[in-house]
Amino acid sequence: MVTQIGLIGLGKMGFPLAQNMIANGFEVYTHDLLPGLLERAREAGLKAYKDTDALLAQLSGRKVLWLMIPAGPAVDHAIEKLLPQLQPGDILIDGGNSYFEDSVRRYRYLAERQIDFLDCGTSGGVGGARHGVCTMIGGKPEVFAYCEKLFQTISVPDGYLYTGEAGSGHYVKMIHNGIEYGMMQAIGEGFEMLHKSRYELDLKAVANVWNHGSVIRSWLIELAGNALGKDPHLSGLRGIVNASGEGQWTVETALREGISIPVITLSLLMRYRSQEGDTFSGKLLAALRREFGGHQVQVKEGGKG
């Protein structure tokens, strides 16, 4: 059974996750490349080390290392840095938002070196990381069984699932995030209609009543209400919405597998659109509508109508 954990990555999810593990009785040793994050961890009472060799020296028996770092090359770099210090049977858990095909590749690469690997989709936000996450875990069943108490303990009740073979945990998390894109887009559009309606609506109150018994009650609606309570017109924000990668991977996977997901796809495209503002393609569509249908267009000050 797992009692010691080496956690690498003390960012917005890794730091509270380490606190979660410690609060649940695990012996946790942490590492990050950024001195400021190490200092914050130490001030909070965490055992934090500036290099992985010092961290690994604290772990005995079958080592369990949890990576909570950005997806992509950083994960491969961390694995290569750790490998010389690992023994056959040691376990690496990638708890970040890695692309599932990368997780399959890493599983095979590590298996050739007799290192076990679990891909763990982690959801719940910063608050969840501290008080109880939702985890989706792929990999060998016996490796999951060895770590199951860890996943059970740091997750909310009924909030962890062994999803099957390598890559499946991150695949399920990818689809989760694609669904999230679509839900957020629908919520944003709905509240924009409420905001622009002829009625003087208290949007926070609308969100609150929807979250008491309605079909669309959800945490996202709750968060929308919280945001609208702080700033009813959201006047302090710009409408730029970043796409962190999982939505794009979901769409690319659907295209490759011939699966129609129009809502998720459009929600991703709307995020790209939000980066651009007044786009050339938008101007061209307006011009075409004027050309073939005589439709009016809005012009900038000093422009030609």
Q: Which residues contact 31 (CB under 8 A, 6 or more apart)?
A: 6, 7, 8, 9, 10, 38, 48, 49, 50, 51, 52, 55
Q: How far is it between the farthest Cα atoms of the chain?
A: 76
In 3D space, the residue among 174, 182, 181, 176 whose CA is nearest the CA of residue 249 turns out to be: 174
Q: Is 74 exposed, middle or buried (0-12, 13-18, 19+ CB in 10 A)?
A: middle
By annotation, the residues acting in catalysis are: 173, 180
Angle between helices 262-276 and 246-257 in degrees, nearest 10: 140
d(CA 177, CA 179): 5
Place of tokens 């009016």: 296
Q: Please, what's the b/e burial string for 147-166 (b: 16 or more CB within 10 A of its CB; e: otherwise)?
A: bbebbebbbeeebbbbbeeb
